Amino acid sequence: MGKTLAEKIFSLKLNRDVKAGEFVIAPIDICACQDGTGPLSVRQIEALGRGVANPKRSIFFIDHAAPSPRKELSNDHKLLREFCRKTGCILSEVGDGVIHQRLVEDYAKPGDILIGADSHSCTSGALAAFATGMGSTDVAIGMALGENWFRVPETFRINVTGRFPKGVFSKDLIIHLIGMITADGATYRALEFGGEAIENMSMSERFVLANMAVEAGAKTGLCPADGITQEYLKRMGRENDYQPLAPDPDAEYERVIEIDASNLEPVVSCPHTVDNVRKAKELTDIRIDQVYIGTCTNGRLEDLRVAARILKGKRRHPDVRLIVCPASRRVYLDALREGILEILVEAGASIMGPGCGPCVGVHEGVLADGERCLSTQNRNFKGRMGNPEGEIYLASPATAAYSATVGHIADPREVL
Amino acid sequence: MILRGRVIKLGDNIDTDQIYPGRYLPITEPVEMAGHAFEGIISDFLQRAKGSIIVAGKNFGCGSSREQAATALKWAGIVAVVAESFARIFFRNAINQGLPAIIGHHLDRINEGDELRIDLHLGKIEDLTTGESYPGDPLPDFLLAIIEAGGLIEKLKRSLGGG
């Protein structure tokens, strides 16, 4: 019997045949933390008293509250800086970008095993790395010992055929899928994306799929490493990091889900769970107070580009605040050079420095009681944006940008 | 290992943003973390938490990987969390913090305030108030050993000889 992508990565790493369901201790290529989870990892590393096994592959990202809005957070940042200085671990500073975006730009590669103390660490799975989120203690152990235990997951194969209609994006596909299998439908499984629609999809769009795998409970979301992956790594100046990696044609899947992309429509996750899915065109009576375009899900150049296409020459609705946050310094610079940021600012957007922005509810756009935000982020839980009395809706950058101009949720196909 | 406690009953998809709000992530003292468990969500949680067992539905602890969610519950005095299913990151975090997380079945028949008795080795959940008992999935020995040591770091310090 052939191997799934997850089985293949563990088998290559351990140099023996590994099957789903096995418990293994595996070496880890990359360990990552952010400023919300890093300080606890540092404490645990110090409690273990064994130092850091591989500091050049142990990275601390200051992104969740960057720059710091409060002295307690500033002290956390200081602690991370001092720890990196002392141990030689890598520090990603204020303004460098969101952990997951920086990992795919500069660190993760096909065949890697990556653990991150952040649930959306599955994003790097789009590069055919086995990338998964864990808690601070698990990542501390990965950093200190260079290994950790895993249960090799069973896999749901998601076969996507057909062509995406105009105005429909991979964000709509993943929200549609989570609505179908529910928020815990893939708990402990890997999602493996494939089929002609994935083969034709840019890395930027693939990252969205892998990023939101955890919203169905999955351990990781994987895409094959192919010509598009190779082209992306080349653009990131990491051509040598490429190796082709694909599941075997006779791999054994727990479940196979077929989706025809040509049947998809713009969709929205409604409060307070990601699997509460409705069509955008059915929600035009939902008035919104804030639109947020950014995050590790949809804060890349392609996302800002589509938003700019819709917002060019238009203004935000007077009742809507428009917040835009590029996911990394690279994205910020590219958007600046392309004139995208100028279009967005003219449309009334407030541009934040690269980072998580208001998604985590710490700063840069905390909702007031009873307010609604339409966001391109991945999670709409109660209180997520800093106020349990606020409501969060999730959609693609196109849906978000168009809705910002009309003041309510709207279907972007009307203007695309 | 036998655990006893009064039930705090919760529903499906209890996420870590509800268990522990993101704005309190900088707190590093477990006792202080405990003061913010379920803040803005369950008003009297802290008064009831000590010595209680959370009984929840599907997908408990979904969302953010923040370990503080498990730490806050433990230090608020929660004895164990029993759920129909757990999100995988929370499950690992709970065990790593020495907080028993047990998968049980047919939990909808357990009521708020019931007295529970749990045998961790057998995975048996008894409702002493109603006299009913429920099957649970026993934890494998290596996870029980982590709970008994009081958490993964303590366990590793012992097995690695303190470093």
Tell me, yes or no, if B51 comes closer than 8 A to chain A by beta carbon: no
CB pairs under 8 A between A and B: 127
Tell me, yes or no, if B152 comes closer than 8 A to chain A by beta carbon: yes
Alpha-carbon torsion A228, A229, A235, A239, what sign? negative
Q: What is the mean pLDDT of each run of 10 residues along chain A (416 residues)?
A: 96 97 94 97 95 98 96 96 98 98 98 98 98 97 96 97 98 98 96 98 98 97 98 98 98 98 98 97 98 98 98 98 98 98 98 96 95 98 94 98 98 96
For chain A positions 182-241, those within 8 Å of chain B (CB to CB) are 183-184, 187-188, 217, 219
CB A350 within 8 A of CB A314: no
Cα separation, A64 vs A66, whole angstroms: 6
Are A217 and B89 within 8 A, CB to CB? no
Q: Which residues of B touch A48 (CB under 8 A)?
A: 153, 156-157, 160, 163
The residue of chain B with its CA nearest to that of A390 is B40
CB A117 within 8 A of CB A22: no
Query: Which one of B23, B41, B163 has the shortest CB-CB distance to A386?
Result: B23
| CATH 2.60.40.10 holds for B2-159 | no
How many residues are listed for chain A in this entry? 416
Residues 6+ apart with CB under 8 A from B47: none
For chain B, give the mean pLDDT: 94
Q: Could you list the beta-strand ranges (E) of A106-204.
A: 113-116, 130-133, 147-151, 155-161, 190-194
CA atoms within 13 A on the CB side of A182: 8
The secondary structure element, H or E, covering residue B126 is strand B124-127
B150 CB neighbour count, 10 Å cutoff: 12
Tell me, yes or no, if B84 comes closer than 8 A to chain A by beta carbon: no
Domain map (residue ranges) of chain B? 2-159
- The gap between the terminal CA atoms of chain A, to the nearest Å, is 45
Q: Tens of pLDDT along B51-66?
A: 999 999 999 999 999 9
Question: Which CATH topology does A7-260 take?
Answer: Aconitase; domain 3 (3.30.499)
Please indicate if the annotation marks A84 as binding a ligand.
no
Residue B162 clears pLDDT 80, i.e. is over it: no
Tell me, yes or no, if A135 comes closer than 8 A to chain B by beta carbon: yes
Please indicate if the annotation marks A296 as binding a ligand.
yes
Q: Tens of pLDDT along B96-150?
A: 999 999 999 999 999 999 999 999 999 999 999 999 999 999 988 989 999 999 9
How many residues are listed for chain B in this entry? 163
Phi, psi angles (nearest 5°) of residue A9: -65, -45
Tell me, yes or no, if B89 comes closer than 8 A to chain A by beta carbon: yes
Are A187 and B152 within 8 A, CB to CB? no
Are A135 and B40 within 8 A, CB to CB? no
Query: Which one of B15, B27, B85 has the shortest CB-CB distance to A187?
Result: B85
Three-state DSSP class for A109? Answer: coil
ipTM of model: 0.90
Domains A7-260 and A267-414 equal at CATH topology level: yes
Cα separation, A161 vs A258, whole angstroms: 8
Cα separation, A81 vs A89, whole angstroms: 9
Are A137 and B67 within 8 A, CB to CB? yes
| CATH 3.30.499.10 holds for A267-414 | yes
Burial pattern A148-187, b for ≥16 Cβ within 10 A else e, equals bebebbbbbbbbbeeebeebbbbbbbbbbbbbebbbbbbb
pLDDT on residue B163: 43
CB B21 within 8 A of CB B36: yes
